[in-house]
Structure 1
Amino acid sequence: MSRKPDPDDDAGHERLRLDKWLWAARFFKTRTLASDAIDAGRIQVNGARAKPSREVHVGDQLDIQAPEVRYSVIVQALSGRRGPAEEARRLYAETGDSLARREREREQRRLAPEPSQMLHGRPTKTQRREIDRMRAKLRGG
């Protein structure tokens, strides 16, 4: 008796949907988020824009613009199963340029001033009166 192939068990197949691979490789938390990123043009396969149903193959180069981070990876293996992070890292190899760029961006974020320190807070009573006077002048009063 032969076993019917499970559509979710894509580990042994040579083809896999791009949105499913991105989810399994842990670039996105859900397949829906992966699909939305692909539709928005934030994912490129071999330099070309792709659709969520596009099949990804071993050796394909993916440019991935995830929230706040940009990756350039080469597909090393296919898996439709979302496993531990250690397992997910074996599905791809990040290019040297991508690693260097991410490190530079991380350092820039670390050295950037704290966003809350860029704000000066609420105006003092004197500053508030000055603001009111300027608004009155602009209104012609």
Structure 2
Amino acid sequence: MIDEGEIAADYIEELLDICDFDGDIDIEVRGGRSYISVDASGEGSLRVLSKPDTVTALQELTRIAVQTKTGEFSRLILDIGGSRQTREAELGAMVDKAVERLEEGAEAASLPPMSSYERKLVHDIVAARGFVSESEGEGRDRHTVIKRG
């Protein structure tokens, strides 16, 4: 069986070489999903690649590269320079604001559309805060709605 993590790491390594960036690549598999992390020991070299929209685009390109080699859909997650941890903190802040609206009397609070991975993170954050959430909408409009438990 071809290892999607190895294919993804090779793809990212080639990209870093083309950009002349240094980075250490780690591969981890959790729950059947590959997580690829790229970190740099020096300051700044990955900063341009660690912006959320850039990471999302690179993740999609990497998934396509893996799918081309394996013939199977890839659900890998790419993290560059701690971008996922930064995004998790942003999602936590969004949930906190939504919870405030609920505590002020709102019946429900909707968050903006986001990826399935981000919605899963939001569901976990919401549950940890003692509320319930569900995804609504279709395709690019799919978003999370938070309600009291």
TM-score scaled by structure 2? 0.22
Determine which structure has greater relative contact order: mean sequence separation of CA pairs < 8 Å that are 6+ residues apart, divided by chain length. Answer: 1
Give the structure with the higher percent strand: 2
Higher gyration radius (CA): 1
TM-score scaled by structure 1? 0.23
Give the structure with the higher percent helix: 2
